[in-house]
Structure 1
Protein backbone atom coordinates (compact mmCIF):
# COMPACT_ATOMS: atom_id res chain seq x y z
CA UNK A 1 0.00 0.00 0.00
CA UNK A 2 2.94 2.32 0.59
CA UNK A 3 4.02 1.93 -3.05
CA UNK A 4 0.59 3.12 -4.24
CA UNK A 5 1.29 6.48 -2.56
CA UNK A 6 3.69 7.04 -5.49
CA UNK A 7 0.93 6.43 -8.05
CA UNK A 8 -0.54 9.91 -7.96
CA UNK A 9 -0.68 12.92 -5.71
CA UNK A 10 -4.35 12.43 -4.91
CA UNK A 11 -4.08 8.73 -4.01
CA UNK A 12 -4.93 8.11 -0.38
CA UNK A 13 -4.04 4.89 1.46
CA UNK A 14 -6.71 2.42 2.48
CA UNK A 15 -6.93 1.21 6.05
CA UNK A 16 -5.28 -2.20 6.50
CA UNK A 17 -8.51 -4.15 6.94
CA UNK A 18 -10.10 -2.73 3.77
CA UNK A 19 -6.92 -3.25 1.78
CA UNK A 20 -6.65 -6.89 2.87
CA UNK A 21 -10.30 -7.53 1.99
CA UNK A 22 -9.91 -6.02 -1.49
CA UNK A 23 -6.60 -7.83 -2.05
CA UNK A 24 -8.23 -11.19 -1.25
CA UNK A 25 -11.10 -10.41 -3.63
CA UNK A 26 -8.65 -9.45 -6.37
CA UNK A 27 -6.71 -12.68 -5.97
CA UNK A 28 -9.96 -14.67 -6.21
CA UNK A 29 -10.99 -12.87 -9.40
CA UNK A 30 -10.17 -15.32 -12.17
CA UNK A 31 -7.58 -13.90 -14.55
CA UNK A 32 -6.26 -11.17 -12.28
CA UNK A 33 -2.77 -10.82 -10.94
CA UNK A 34 -0.53 -8.20 -9.40
CA UNK A 35 3.04 -8.17 -10.70
CA UNK A 36 5.71 -6.98 -8.27
CA UNK A 37 9.24 -5.70 -8.84
CA UNK A 38 11.74 -5.83 -6.02
CA UNK A 39 15.25 -4.51 -5.57
CA UNK A 40 16.80 -6.38 -2.69
CA UNK A 41 14.05 -6.53 -0.09
CA UNK A 42 12.31 -3.36 -1.30
CA UNK A 43 9.18 -3.34 -3.44
CA UNK A 44 9.90 -0.71 -6.10
CA UNK A 45 7.33 -1.30 -8.85
CA UNK A 46 4.02 -2.97 -9.51
CA UNK A 47 1.09 -3.24 -11.87
CA UNK A 48 -2.24 -5.03 -11.94
CA UNK A 49 -3.13 -7.23 -14.91
CA UNK A 50 -6.56 -8.65 -15.68
CA UNK A 51 -7.16 -11.19 -18.44
CA UNK A 52 -10.68 -10.75 -19.79
CA UNK A 53 -12.61 -13.50 -21.65
CA UNK A 54 -13.88 -12.44 -25.06
CA UNK A 55 -16.60 -13.62 -27.45
CA UNK A 56 -14.95 -12.01 -30.50
CA UNK A 57 -11.53 -12.48 -32.13
CA UNK A 58 -12.15 -16.24 -32.22
CA UNK A 59 -12.46 -16.19 -28.45
CA UNK A 60 -9.01 -14.72 -27.83
CA UNK A 61 -9.03 -12.85 -24.51
CA UNK A 62 -7.61 -9.38 -24.01
CA UNK A 63 -5.69 -7.90 -21.10
CA UNK A 64 -6.09 -4.73 -19.12
CA UNK A 65 -3.18 -3.15 -17.24
CA UNK A 66 -3.89 -0.82 -14.36
CA UNK A 67 -2.06 0.86 -11.47
CA UNK A 68 1.39 0.96 -13.03
CA UNK A 69 3.57 2.45 -10.33
CA UNK A 70 7.27 2.83 -9.51
CA UNK A 71 8.59 4.23 -6.25
CA UNK A 72 9.71 7.84 -6.82
CA UNK A 73 13.26 7.04 -5.65
CA UNK A 74 13.56 4.34 -8.34
CA UNK A 75 11.93 6.01 -11.34
CA UNK A 76 13.89 6.35 -14.55
CA UNK A 77 15.74 3.05 -14.06
CA UNK A 78 13.54 0.86 -16.27
CA UNK A 79 11.50 -0.84 -13.55
CA UNK A 80 8.17 0.38 -14.92
CA UNK A 81 9.10 -0.86 -18.37
CA UNK A 82 10.03 -4.24 -16.90
CA UNK A 83 6.58 -4.37 -15.26
CA UNK A 84 4.84 -3.61 -18.55
CA UNK A 85 6.98 -6.15 -20.42
CA UNK A 86 6.22 -8.82 -17.81
CA UNK A 87 2.50 -8.02 -17.97
CA UNK A 88 2.58 -8.23 -21.76
CA UNK A 89 4.43 -11.55 -21.77
CA UNK A 90 1.95 -12.97 -19.26
CA UNK A 91 -0.94 -11.78 -21.44
CA UNK A 92 0.62 -13.34 -24.55
CA UNK A 93 1.12 -16.62 -22.69
CA UNK A 94 -2.61 -16.56 -21.86
CA UNK A 95 -3.46 -16.18 -25.57
CA UNK A 96 -4.47 -12.51 -25.41
CA UNK A 97 -4.63 -10.67 -28.71
CA UNK A 98 -3.99 -7.25 -27.16
CA UNK A 99 -2.93 -5.53 -23.97
CA UNK A 100 -4.67 -2.27 -23.12
CA UNK A 101 -4.04 0.48 -20.65
CA UNK A 102 -5.28 3.97 -20.12
CA UNK A 103 -3.79 6.93 -18.37
CA UNK A 104 -5.30 10.13 -17.17
CA UNK A 105 -1.93 11.81 -17.34
CA UNK A 106 -1.23 14.42 -19.98
CA UNK A 107 2.41 14.70 -18.95
CA UNK A 108 4.64 14.27 -22.02
CA UNK A 109 7.09 12.12 -20.02
CA UNK A 110 4.31 9.73 -18.94
CA UNK A 111 2.94 9.42 -22.47
CA UNK A 112 6.45 8.87 -23.84
CA UNK A 113 7.03 6.19 -21.18
CA UNK A 114 4.05 4.15 -22.42
CA UNK A 115 4.97 4.68 -26.06
CA UNK A 116 8.60 3.68 -25.40
CA UNK A 117 7.29 0.50 -23.75
CA UNK A 118 5.59 -0.40 -27.05
CA UNK A 119 2.07 0.90 -26.48
CA UNK A 120 0.44 2.93 -29.25
CA UNK A 121 -1.67 6.01 -28.59
CA UNK A 122 -5.14 5.33 -29.99
CA UNK A 123 -8.12 7.56 -29.34
CA UNK A 124 -7.97 8.33 -25.60
CA UNK A 125 -6.23 5.12 -24.54
CA UNK A 126 -3.26 2.94 -25.29
CA UNK A 127 -3.08 -0.59 -26.60
CA UNK A 128 -0.46 -3.07 -27.61
CA UNK A 129 -1.48 -5.62 -30.21
CA UNK A 130 0.14 -8.94 -30.79
Structure 2
Protein backbone atom coordinates (compact mmCIF):
# COMPACT_ATOMS: atom_id res chain seq x y z
CA UNK A 1 0.00 0.00 0.00
CA UNK A 2 1.31 3.46 -0.91
CA UNK A 3 0.39 6.10 1.67
CA UNK A 4 1.54 9.20 3.53
CA UNK A 5 3.70 8.40 6.56
CA UNK A 6 2.20 8.59 10.03
CA UNK A 7 3.70 9.50 13.38
CA UNK A 8 4.40 5.86 14.26
CA UNK A 9 6.52 5.37 11.09
CA UNK A 10 9.60 7.21 12.38
CA UNK A 11 11.79 4.17 13.17
CA UNK A 12 11.01 2.54 9.83
CA UNK A 13 11.69 5.71 7.85
CA UNK A 14 14.98 6.21 9.70
CA UNK A 15 15.93 2.64 8.79
CA UNK A 16 15.31 3.39 5.10
CA UNK A 17 17.28 6.65 5.31
CA UNK A 18 20.20 4.74 6.85
CA UNK A 19 20.38 2.67 3.63
CA UNK A 20 20.55 5.80 1.47
CA UNK A 21 22.77 7.84 3.77
CA UNK A 22 24.84 5.47 5.96
CA UNK A 23 27.26 8.22 7.01
CA UNK A 24 24.59 10.52 8.43
CA UNK A 25 24.94 11.00 12.20
CA UNK A 26 22.54 9.12 14.45
CA UNK A 27 19.87 11.37 15.87
CA UNK A 28 19.17 11.47 19.59
CA UNK A 29 15.79 9.78 20.11
CA UNK A 30 13.84 12.74 21.53
CA UNK A 31 15.32 15.11 18.94
CA UNK A 32 14.33 12.71 16.14
CA UNK A 33 10.78 12.45 17.52
CA UNK A 34 10.51 16.25 17.75
CA UNK A 35 11.71 16.76 14.17
CA UNK A 36 9.49 13.94 12.90
CA UNK A 37 6.46 15.57 14.53
CA UNK A 38 7.31 18.84 12.80
CA UNK A 39 7.48 17.03 9.45
CA UNK A 40 4.28 15.04 9.96
CA UNK A 41 2.38 18.15 11.15
CA UNK A 42 3.64 20.40 8.33
CA UNK A 43 0.80 20.83 5.80
CA UNK A 44 3.32 21.36 2.98
CA UNK A 45 5.52 18.33 3.66
CA UNK A 46 4.68 14.70 2.95
CA UNK A 47 6.71 11.56 3.43
CA UNK A 48 5.33 8.97 1.03
CA UNK A 49 5.88 5.31 1.92
CA UNK A 50 5.30 1.88 0.43
CA UNK A 51 3.97 -0.31 3.24
CA UNK A 52 4.37 -4.03 2.55
CA UNK A 53 2.54 -6.02 5.22
CA UNK A 54 3.49 -3.53 7.92
CA UNK A 55 7.11 -3.07 6.78
CA UNK A 56 8.13 0.15 5.07
CA UNK A 57 9.89 -0.82 1.86
CA UNK A 58 10.24 2.47 -0.01
CA UNK A 59 9.88 6.19 0.56
CA UNK A 60 10.29 9.66 -0.89
CA UNK A 61 9.66 13.13 0.45
CA UNK A 62 7.42 15.70 -1.23
CA UNK A 63 7.62 19.36 -0.28
CA UNK A 64 5.21 21.96 -1.59
CA UNK A 65 6.63 25.46 -1.90
CA UNK A 66 4.34 28.46 -2.04
CA UNK A 67 5.00 30.98 -4.78
CA UNK A 68 3.70 34.22 -6.19
CA UNK A 69 4.97 33.25 -9.68
CA UNK A 70 3.12 31.09 -12.20
CA UNK A 71 -0.27 32.48 -11.20
CA UNK A 72 0.61 32.02 -7.51
CA UNK A 73 0.78 28.25 -8.00
CA UNK A 74 3.09 26.27 -5.72
CA UNK A 75 5.95 24.13 -6.99
CA UNK A 76 7.03 20.81 -5.54
CA UNK A 77 10.34 19.16 -4.76
CA UNK A 78 10.84 15.43 -4.37
CA UNK A 79 13.88 14.20 -2.45
CA UNK A 80 15.24 11.11 -0.73
CA UNK A 81 13.84 8.41 -2.99
CA UNK A 82 14.76 5.16 -1.24
CA UNK A 83 13.81 1.52 -1.62
CA UNK A 84 15.21 -1.01 0.82
CA UNK A 85 17.60 -3.41 -0.85
CA UNK A 86 15.42 -6.41 -0.02
CA UNK A 87 12.46 -4.84 -1.87
CA UNK A 88 14.22 -3.54 -4.98
CA UNK A 89 13.18 -4.42 -8.53
CA UNK A 90 9.49 -4.56 -7.59
CA UNK A 91 8.46 -1.13 -8.89
CA UNK A 92 8.07 0.42 -5.44
CA UNK A 93 10.18 3.52 -6.14
CA UNK A 94 8.03 4.12 -9.20
CA UNK A 95 4.87 3.78 -7.11
CA UNK A 96 5.94 6.21 -4.37
CA UNK A 97 7.09 8.69 -7.03
CA UNK A 98 3.82 8.44 -8.96
CA UNK A 99 1.86 8.91 -5.72
CA UNK A 100 3.93 12.00 -4.85
CA UNK A 101 3.58 13.46 -8.34
CA UNK A 102 -0.19 12.91 -8.23
CA UNK A 103 -0.35 14.72 -4.89
CA UNK A 104 1.58 17.64 -6.39
CA UNK A 105 -0.85 17.90 -9.31
CA UNK A 106 -3.81 17.70 -6.89
CA UNK A 107 -2.26 20.68 -5.04
CA UNK A 108 -2.15 22.60 -8.37
CA UNK A 109 1.66 22.69 -8.52
CA UNK A 110 3.10 24.27 -11.64
CA UNK A 111 6.02 21.81 -11.67
CA UNK A 112 7.73 19.06 -9.72
CA UNK A 113 11.51 19.08 -9.37
CA UNK A 114 13.85 16.33 -8.26
CA UNK A 115 17.59 16.40 -7.69
CA UNK A 116 19.64 13.24 -7.99
CA UNK A 117 23.29 12.39 -7.52
CA UNK A 118 25.15 12.93 -10.78
CA UNK A 119 26.45 9.34 -10.86
CA UNK A 120 23.15 7.52 -10.14
CA UNK A 121 22.40 6.49 -13.72
CA UNK A 122 19.89 3.71 -12.83
CA UNK A 123 17.93 6.16 -10.72
CA UNK A 124 17.96 8.66 -13.59
CA UNK A 125 16.37 6.04 -15.83
CA UNK A 126 13.63 5.52 -13.25
CA UNK A 127 13.01 9.26 -12.99
CA UNK A 128 12.76 9.55 -16.75
CA UNK A 129 10.29 6.67 -16.88
CA UNK A 130 7.85 8.52 -14.59
CA UNK A 131 8.06 11.72 -16.65
CA UNK A 132 10.99 13.73 -15.31
CA UNK A 133 13.08 15.31 -18.05
CA UNK A 134 16.60 16.62 -17.90
CA UNK A 135 17.68 19.63 -19.92
CA UNK A 136 14.60 21.78 -19.18
CA UNK A 137 16.13 23.57 -16.21
CA UNK A 138 19.55 23.20 -14.66
CA UNK A 139 19.88 22.44 -10.97
CA UNK A 140 22.53 23.95 -8.71
CA UNK A 141 23.39 23.04 -5.15
CA UNK A 142 25.35 24.88 -2.48
CA UNK A 143 26.21 23.29 0.84
CA UNK A 144 27.35 25.02 4.02
CA UNK A 145 31.09 25.35 4.60
CA UNK A 146 32.55 22.58 6.77
1:21–1:101 CA distance, 2 compared to 1 (3 A)? same
CA deviation digits over 1:7-52, x for unaligned, max 9? 1343444232221111111123331111111111111011111111
Determine the structure 1 residue equivalent to 2:10.
none
Offset, 1:71: 0.5
TM, length-normalised to structure 2: 0.78
Q: Secondary structure at the match of 2:134?
A: strand
Question: Which of 8, 16, 29 in structure 1 is aligned with 2:42?
Answer: 29
Determine the structure 1 residue equivalent to 2:3.
none
CA RMSD of aligned residues (A): 1.6
Determine the structure 1 residue equivalent to 2:69.
56
CA deviation digits over 1:30-88, x for unaligned, max 9? 31111111111111011111111111111111111111111111111100000100000
Say whether residues 1:97 and 2:110 are aligned partners.
yes
Determine the structure 2 residue equivalent to 1:77.
90
Residues 27 and 33, structure 1, Cα contact 8 Å, conserved in 2? yes
Size of the alignment, in residue pairs? 125
Cα separation, 1, equivalents of 2:59 and 2:126: 15
Judging by fraction of residues, say which structure has more strand.
Answer: 1
Gaps of 5+ in 1: 126-130
Cα separation, 2, equivalents of 1:51 and 1:98: 10
Say whether residues 1:110 and 2:119 are aligned partners.
no
